[in-house]
Amino acid sequence: MSTDPLKQRITMLRYRPWRGELRGPWSGVLAIARVSLGQMFRRKLFWGLFGFSALIFLFYFFGQYLGVFMQSQLTGETGTVRLGSGVGAVTVRPENMIQALTKTLKMNGSADTFANFIWFEGYILIIVLTLAGSVLVGNDFSHGSLPFYLSKPISRWHYMLGKCLAIGVFVNLMTTVPALLLFLQYGMVDEWSYYWDSFHLVVGILGYGLILTVSLSIILLAFATWLRKTVPMIMVWVSVFVLGRIVAKLIVDGLKFSPSWRLFDLWNDLYLMGASCLGIPLETMRPGPQPPFWQAWLVIGGLCAFCLLYLRRRIQAVEVVS
């Protein structure tokens, strides 16, 4: 600061009082969410991972298109089709391809299409959320930004809601939004009647998205609050989802124990909850056998409740003044 008295006098003139109406704490929630999104969007790693998730979307997008196109063009034809020329040429049976796309991969605009699509997106989403957790929440603890937020006229719940909103945007950007685009696309390439005949699927997709948004943001917030730093966050978060799946698979598929042991696999639990929203029968779900839907709801609901209790205890405004 200047020591020159004249300059000081000029500096003082620059201070102008602000007269305006202050809004309630809810406006702060949106500001927190917006800033959090900005923090993530600045990172190249995020865009790289988002690119991978877009590849899954494109796979489904063109798979659905190809399935419908082939059905419309080749129905009734038998025999083989030679694709390409020379050494690299392959001979395929069109009905086998249609079978693979629509029956095996379920790229047919059905409830299974969207459930499977979100299942596969989960692999990338879990990694993105690890990054989001350490950047958006872990940093607030490890760099001491929490007092900045909580010394303002907002409560810890407003802070958490702002962060959850930002996490929810990533979750939906990689699951619900592309799933809805796939729904729109299928109606366009198939028949217009698909939209109203299958409108319940839109509700199911939105329900699945809501489940993922609420549960993943709460669980992630609790993990990031607990672990704070990026490396432990990656290790534990990925372990929970990857090891959980391996353990569940070993117990249920290897040792042939009760399907309820599959509840160790958190992503599978979310998948079950989403499937119940989309109206998929339990018996047709893969990998099978699966535990009843209610058990998955109970596990995820209980985990979220535990995380909220932990967050209530851990994020406290009284930490503002050390």
Partner 1 sequence: MESLVELRNLTRQFGTFEALRGIDLKLPPGRIGLLGPNGAGKSTLLKILMGLLAPSSGEGTVFGIPLVPGADGEGNWQLRRLMGFMPEADALIPGMRGVDYVSLAGELYGMPRRDAQRRAHEVLSYLELEDARYRRLEEYSTGMKQRLKLAQALVHDPPALLLDEPTSGLDPAGRDAMLRLLLELGTDHGKSVIISTHLLADVEAVCERVVILYGGQVRGFGTVRELCASRQDRYRLQIQGDPSAFREELRLEGVEILSENDRGEMRVVVPAKWITRAFFALAENHGVVIRSLIRDDETLEELFFRTIEKK
Measured from the CB atom, the residue of 153 and 288 that comes closer to partner 1 is 153
Element (H, E) at 83: strand 81-83
The count of residues in the chain is: 322
Q: In sequence order, which residues have a C-beta less than 8 Å from that of residue 63 and are 6 or more positions away?
A: 101, 105, 107
Contact between 269 and partner 1 (CB under 8 A)?
no
CB of 97 to partner 1, least distance (A): 48
Measured from the CB atom, the residue of 42 and 103 that comes closer to partner 1 is 42
Measured from the CB atom, the residue of 48 and 288 that comes closer to partner 1 is 48
Task: Please report, as residue ranges, which positions from 198 to 217 form the binding site for partner 1 (by CB under 8 A).
Answer: none
Q: Which of 5, 14, 44, 78 binds partner 1 (CB under 8 A)?
A: 14
CB of 145 to partner 1, least distance (A): 5
Helix-strand-coil split of the chain, %, nearest 5: 75, 0, 20
- Distances, alpha carbon 124 to alpha carbons 48, 128, 238, 266, 309, in Å: 10, 6, 11, 15, 28
From CA 122, how far away is CA 150, in angstroms rounded? Answer: 32
Task: Please report, as residue ranges, which positions from 139 to 168 form the binding site for partner 1 (by CB under 8 A).
Answer: 139-140, 143-156
CB of 234 to partner 1, least distance (A): 18
Measured from the CB atom, the residue of 2 and 99 that comes closer to partner 1 is 2
Tell me, residue by residue from 221 to 260, as one string, x for binding to partner 1 by CB under 8 A and - for no binding.
----------------------------------------
Task: Please report, as residue ranges, which positions from 38 to 97 form the binding site for partner 1 (by CB under 8 A).
Answer: 39, 42
CB 174 within 8 A of CB 54: no
Taking the CB of residue 269, how many other CB atoms lie within 10 A of it? 27
Nearest of 166, 129, 165, 168 to residue 46 by alpha carbon? 129
The footprint of partner 1 (CB under 8 A) covers 1-2, 11-12, 14-20, 22-25, 27-28, 31-32, 35, 39, 42, 139-140, 143-156, 316-318, 320-322
